[in-house]
Structure formats: C-alpha cells, structure tokens
Amino acid sequence: MLFIFLRGATIRTSVLTTLVCLTLLVLVSCSRGSAPTNAPVVVQEARSGEEIYRKYCSNCHQGGIVESPVFGKKEDWEDRIEKGREALIANVRDGMPPGMPKMGNCPSCTIEELGNAVDYMLAALEDEQETEEENTKAE
Ligand code: HEC
C-alpha cells in the first residue's frame, strides 16, 4: 500500500516536474520571441536637395519649361526670393497652377526633402553671384 502510494507520489512529482519544465520552456521561448531582435530599424533619411532636384524638379526648372524660374538664373528668382524660404516651400507643397505642380511632382517627398530641394535651388543662385564676383575681380 505504502509502496503504491510512494509510486503514485513519484509519478505525480515527475509529471509536475515535466509540467514545470514545459512551462519554463514556453516562457523562455516566448520571452525570446518578444525580446528586441537585431533586425535593422528602417529610418529613412531625407534625400538631399540635389537628388530631389535632379529627379523631379530639373525637368522643368533646368530649361525654364512652362515658364518656370530657371535654375541658377538670378533674375528669374529675384522677386520670388523676397517671399522667404518658408513661403517658397509652401508654394512647392501646394503647387502654383497652372505651371508648378503640387509637391513639384514628387508625391513621395517629405516637406523636409522639398525644403532641401528649394535650398539647393537657392544655393545655385548664390554660386552664380560668387562666380560673377570672381569674374569681375578677374577682369
Ligand atoms: C511641370 C514643371 C515643374 C516641375 C516638375 C517643378 N516645377 Fe517648380 N515651378 C514651375 C513653374 C511653371 C513655376 C512658376 C509658377 C508661377 O509663378 O506661377 C515654378 C515655381 C517654383 C518655385 C517658386 C515658387 C514661388 O513661390 O515663386 C519653386 C521654389 C519651385 N518651383 C520649386 C520646385 C521644386 C523644388 C520642384 C521639384 C520638387 C519643382 N519646382 C518642380 C514648374 C515646375
């Protein structure tokens, strides 16, 4: 009788041990599953103004298509620059019908990227000014 009881207890203990082990295993594997992995976090960096300009804006602005202000041509930009950078970016975002398309035809662009493109276009005007100055000095 005692023997049977003991055996029963042993079996019960081993079943319990197995259960505890299984629970632990599940817990361990679960916590591993939800633990932070080394998968790369995709943070898309803003594309440069030059990249955006070449891809989306140069089609029109390089050659003054549909009477757009020409890249690097100061007289085309004089009045526009006076609005200030933010106003220019807002006009790129909203478009200026009929010629200037909304988002400069780059729907995937962020405002930051459009700003980069505007900065790139404005910088080209400064470069021209410097070149002019250099030319004057050289003369
Ligand atoms: C389909 C041709 C076209 C494309 C593409 C285009 N533009 Fe323009 N853009 C124009 C025209 C036309 C104007 C002049 C609009 C007017 O004054 O009515 C203009 C005007 C502008 C201005 C001056 C806005 C102002 O307030 O005077 C900026 C800045 C500008 N574009 C930036 C960009 C940028 C940045 C891109 C690319 C992301 C771009 N454009 C793409 C045609 C284009």
- Site to probe by mutation for ligand 1, drawn from 96, 100, 118, 125 as the one with most ligand atoms within 8 Å of Cβ, is 100
Q: What mean pLDDT do residues 64-92 have?
A: 97
Q: Band of the pLDDT at 27, cuts 50, 70, 90?
A: very low
Of 51, 61, 71, 68, whose CA–CA distance to 113 is shortest?
Answer: 51
Enter the tokens of residue 22. 């299984």
Q: Band of the pLDDT at 110, cuts 50, 70, 90?
A: very high
Q: Band of the pLDDT at 22, cuts 50, 70, 90?
A: very low
Which atom, in ligand 1's list, is nearest to the CA of 66? 12
Q: Which CATH class is domain 49-138?
A: mainly alpha
Could you give the CA distance from residue 82 to residue 72 in angstroms, rounded to a whole number?
16
Interhelix angle 74-81/111-138, rounded to 10 degrees, is: 130
What phi, psi does 96 have (nearest 5°)? -130, 90
Is residue 17 over pLDDT 70?
A: no
The DSSP-derived string for 77-128 is HHHHHTT-HHHHHHHHHH-BTTTB-GGGG-TT--HHHHHHHHHHHHHHHHHH
Select the more confidently predicted residue: 34 or 46: 46
The separation between CA 65 and the C-alpha centre of its own chain, rounded to angstroms, equals: 29
99 touches ligand 1 (CB under 6 Å): yes
Select the more confidently predicted residue: 126 or 62: 62
Which atom, in ligand 1's list, is nearest to the CA of 106? 38
115 touches ligand 1 (CB under 6 Å): no
Enter the tokens of residue 40. 């790369």
Q: Where are the domains of the chain?
A: 1-31, 49-138
What does R_g of the chain's alpha carbons equal in angstroms? Answer: 34
